Amino acid sequence: MPQQIAVVTGAGSGVGRAVAVELAAAGWLPVLAGRREEPLRGTAELCAAAGPGGGAVVVPTDVTDPAAVDALFAAAAEPCGRVDLLFNNAGTFGAPAAVDELDIAEWRAVVDLNLTGAFLCARAAFRRMKAQDPRGGRIINNGSISAHVPRPHSIAYTATKHAVTGLTKSLSLDGRPYRIACGQIDIGNAATEMTAAMSTGVRQADGRIAVEPTMDVADVARTVRHMAELPLEANVQFATVMATAMPYIGRG
């Protein structure tokens, strides 16, 4: 059986890196996308050390650039003539700001990466999965706890993550005739570079600054792997993986 190909965006650090290494350990060939080549090379080294996947393919990519995204998926399809999985993970919090103080350039930067970038990657994956033989594949979008409830001063991030849920639902519906499954993982307080502030204190809904519990990012990676390895006749539509004691249930 040919090796399965997984495109992982935002693969240079954090959740993307952890997922790529987990998939490599399970025998997948991860295709690593991100803006900076050096961190991607670091992830590729970890993938090579992880086990039977045999490393990874590094493709520096700006996911907000349609031509770059098309080139990414052309490179991903080269080893085996197909793409089996997209983990649509690239994203940014953006600078925290009150609604009336948020600069329009900052808003557009967050929307461009978190939403337009996710759409461009999903579109390119969909095209490949629809046309390849055998037809089909899986897209897993990285949502967030913020796809359900906001944090203070996070309107751009929260709006885009709510929009990612709509993207997931539309892809699920439109992918049915082509054996393209789409699900979403909503992550709360995985310990990564992006969430380092959790250990020193972040703003709460009542205005307090408080330390929040985190969880090992490996627990997220194992969940993504489970979603990825289901047969295409089965799908985890939405999964929430979070630090057990974080302020989400009853937030505010």
Which residues are known to be catalytic?
Answer: 157
Phi and psi at residue 133, to the nearest 5°: -130, 120
Cα 241–Cα 242–Cα 245 angle in degrees, nearest 5: 150
Side-chain half-sphere exposure of 34, counting CA atoms within 13 A:
27
Enumerate helices (H) and strands (E) in the chain, giving the number of each: 7, 9
Q: Which residues contact 247 (CB under 8 A, 6 or more apart)?
A: 204, 210, 212
Q: What is the signed CA dihedral for 107, 111, 113, 117, rounded to 10 degrees?
A: -160
Q: How many CB atoms lie within 10 A of CB 109?
A: 16
Q: Where are the beta strands (DSSP E) in the chain?
A: 5-9, 29-34, 57-60, 85-88, 137-142, 180-188, 202-203, 209-210, 238-242
C-alpha to C-alpha distance for 3 and 36, rounded to whole angstroms: 26
Q: Which residues contact 134 (CB under 8 A, 6 or more apart)?
A: 179
